[in-house]
Chains A and B, each alone.
Chain A
């Protein structure tokens, strides 16, 4: 398996770290940040294979973050992973070019399946 470089953006620090550890065990390299501003900075610096983005961030709302990520790096796939998703959020995110809109809690196998899918599509 390729060693994917992922970014996990979530204000729930323990969750983000834990997910990073688990994905690490599955051969991914994960960066973690806990707010929108930090995420944007990291995206600007690094070209991630995949970005896992929460909506309810302390500084900037997730949809806005997504929009700005897409402005910086249009090709990076973004998966929204939220515990609070409403139908409006889902529609807005899909319009902004999110790859998928997932609800917490999400099984690791499901996430890995999506990773594999993206892996197959990417050159």
Chain B
């Protein structure tokens, strides 16, 4: 399971992340690709995301301030409208009283029947009036019309009466009074023809006023109510105190205009508080109109918008991150691959140079050694001849054996020097059309006997329709002989040797020679094309076969690659061009 996950991750994980080409390290231009990758991602993330986030924050602030000012404006407008309505309500009724005292003679006013008639007419015209009374200069009630039996009462000590004497007009707070029901008193001072003073007083129901106020209330988050100047709540409020209780908010400072301010209420909720001191043209009133909007409720639309923006910015950030990571990984991987290809080419070039140098050196050494070797050969041969011809020594097998050892050693040295000379040889390439199946068959002729004897199965699979390639037949055969020999030495009796050929792209063919023999450890693979590198035990190999093969393949403008696993076998893959140009050789 873990292996499977690792394999799955291996395919999507960029190649450079598990950089493991120690033998190529010296040839790489950059050493730490993970660092390049991380720096690239950091830079891109910073340059891409910082502007986005800054713009988002600025946008937030702009939006917030514009929403705030819009809310303020709306609250102010609402407060103004409500103020106008309340002012008009009061003014209308005060003017009605003024009109009554100016128009109707004192005698008629003090006539209870007439007064009842006037009250009826006023109720019809304006509504909201409960009763009407005429009060003398002394505070004694002269006439009364209304549902309550208040005739003969003395108002000389009442607050409203004292105020009214001073200012001609009077509007009271809402209070319960003798009748024990919330009401407002309005009064007008007037003069009789003889110069004495009397007052016309009316009582207003609060319901009409409350109705008027509540008609301006919009939504669940706004409320409009009246307080008096000492902060006692006059009309019902849902959140800021019952009627006739002290309001839980501070009383706003006096201002002749409608005002709006941001504030916090006693429960720390953010509110917009609009207020206006109500005063009519002819009289001041004790009322302050309060318009309270709870900001949280009003901000719902804005919060929805903000949540949308948050989602959008979040998704954008995620998309940018994904794109940056993918792009960065891709680019760094490209860079890594290009660098790796370059490193491989450089390593290969170095190897080729090394091979060429070793080849030249080897050839020189071979030349110089061959002559003394020939002399040793002949001298030892002559000694042997003498022994063989002399009766005394002919039967001394030990002595003859020693001489044979010398001759064998010379022969072995001779083989090495011949191979070295072949390795360095500047050979000419003769191009002809070669059919791969024929070339392979020709090579295998030499191995039929050994294969039969050792019970090695040789499978050849060359498609019939594979076109002939233009190359040097002799060198191709030499390559094949070397590799087949190599394979025969590597496999045990009864193993399988597989030779396949197939087209590789439009202008190349690929020959694969694989065996299921002893294989080679991975650490040996980079060295197997080096001269004198051999894994064969004892004196079996010179270490030149594969080096020569490598040189030959390169001569034919091809490539040779090897894969091997210990105890599983070795596969050589040769790629050759279908056509090589003679002039470029």
Query: Interface code A7-34, partner B: CB below 8 Å = 1, 0 otherwise?
Result: 0000010110011011001000000000
Which A residues lie within 8 Å of B528 (CB)? none
Closest to A107 in B: B411
Known contacts being A84-B367, A84-B370, is A25 close to B385, with CB within 8 Å?
Answer: yes
Cβ contact within 8 Å between A105 and B385: no
Interface status of A3 (Cβ within 8 A of chain B):
no
Instruction: Give the size range of A's interface with the partner.
Output: 20 to 34
- Contact yes or no, B381 A22, CB < 8 A: yes
Q: How far is the CA of A106 from the CA of B426 in the complex (A)?
A: 23
Query: Contact mask A105-118 → B, CB, 8 Å, 1/0?
Result: 11110000000000
Contacts of B356 in A (CB 8 A): none
Q: Nearest residue in B to A105 (C-beta to C-beta)? A: B377
Find the B residue at minimum CB distance from A12. B371
SS class, residues of chain B in contact with chain A: helix
User: Could you tell me if B378 and A22 are in contact, using CB atoms closer than 8 angstroms?
Assistant: yes
Contact of B425 among A15, A84, A86, A106 (CB under 8 A): A86
B410 interfacial contact with A, CB 8 Å: yes
Q: Mask for A72-106, Cβ within 8 A of B = 1, else 0?
A: 00000000001111111000000000000001111
- When distances are taken between beta carbons in the complex, the residues of chain B under 8 Å from A18 are 375, 378-379, 381-382
How many interface residues does chain B have, given as a range?
20 to 34
CB–CB A15/B375 < 8 A: yes
Which parts of B319-375 form the interface with A (CB within 8 Å)? 367, 369-371, 373-375
Across the A-B interface, give the 7 residue pairs with the lowest CB-CB distance, nearest first.
A83-B370, A104-B374, A105-B377, A18-B378, A105-B374, A83-B371, A15-B375
- Contact A105 B425, beta carbon cutoff 8 Å: no
Please, which residues of chain A bring their CB within 8 A of the CB of B585?
A: none
Residues of B within 8 A of A19 (CB): 378
Q: For residue B373, which residues in chain A have a CB less than 8 angstroms away from its CB? A: 83, 104-105
| Whole-angstrom CA separation of A87 from B474 in the bound complex | 14
Closest to A88 in B: B426
A86: nearest residue on chain B (CB-CB)?
A: B425
11 example contacts (A-B, Cβ-Cβ < 8 A) are as follows A12-B375, A18-B378, A22-B381, A82-B370, A83-B370, A83-B371, A83-B374, A103-B421, A105-B370, A107-B377, A108-B381
Given contacts A22-B382, A22-B385, A103-B370, contact A14 B421 (CB under 8 A): no
A105 x B382 contact (CB < 8 A)? no
Q: How many residue pairs between the two chains, A and B, have CB atoms under 8 Å in the bound complex?
A: 72
How far is A19 from B413 in the complex, measured between Cα atoms in Å? 19
The answer for the CA separation of A104 and B367 in the assembled complex, in Å, is 10
Q: How far is the CA of A14 from the CA of B380 in the complex (A)?
A: 12
Measured in the bound complex, the distance between the Cα atoms of B413 and A107 in whole Å is 12
Residue B389 CB within 8 A of the other chain: yes
* A interface residues (Cβ-Cβ under 8 A, vs B): 12, 14-15, 18-19, 21-22, 25, 82-88, 103-108
Question: Could you say which residues of chain A place their CB within 8 Å of the CB of B371?
Answer: 12, 15, 83, 104
Q: How far is the CA of A84 from the CA of B367 in the complex (A)?
A: 5
Q: Closest approach, in angstroms, between the C-beta of B372 and any C-beta of chain A?
A: 9
Q: How far is the CA of A84 from the CA of B417 in the complex (A)?
A: 10
Complex contact B411–A12 (CB within 8 A): no
- Can you name the residue of chain B whose Cβ is closest to the Cβ of A20? B378
Q: Which of B371, B374, B376 has the most CB of A within 10 A?
A: B374
Residue B418 is within 8 A (CB to CB) of chain A in the complex: yes
Which residue in B386, B389, B414, B426 is a CB contact (below 8 Å) of A105?
A: B414
B470–chain A nearest beta-carbon distance, Å: 22
Once the chains bind, are A15 and B367 in contact (CB under 8 Å)? Answer: no
What is the chain A residue whose CB lies nearest that of B418? A103
Within the assembled complex, what's the spacing in Å between the Cα atoms of A108 and B383?
Answer: 13
Contacts of A105 on B, CB cut-off 8 Å? 370, 373-374, 376-378, 410-411, 413-414
Q: In angstroms, how far is the closest chain A Cβ from the Cβ of B236? A: 120
Does B427 count as interface, using CB distance less than 8 angstroms? Answer: yes
Nearest CB on A from B379, distance (A): 5
Known: A21-B385, A108-B378. 20 other contacts (CB 8 A): A15-B375, A18-B378, A18-B381, A18-B382, A19-B378, A22-B378, A83-B374, A84-B370, A87-B425, A87-B428, A88-B426, A103-B421, A104-B370, A104-B371, A104-B373, A104-B377, A105-B374, A105-B376, A105-B413, A108-B381
Q: Which of B371, B385, B410, B417 has the most CB of A within 10 A?
A: B371
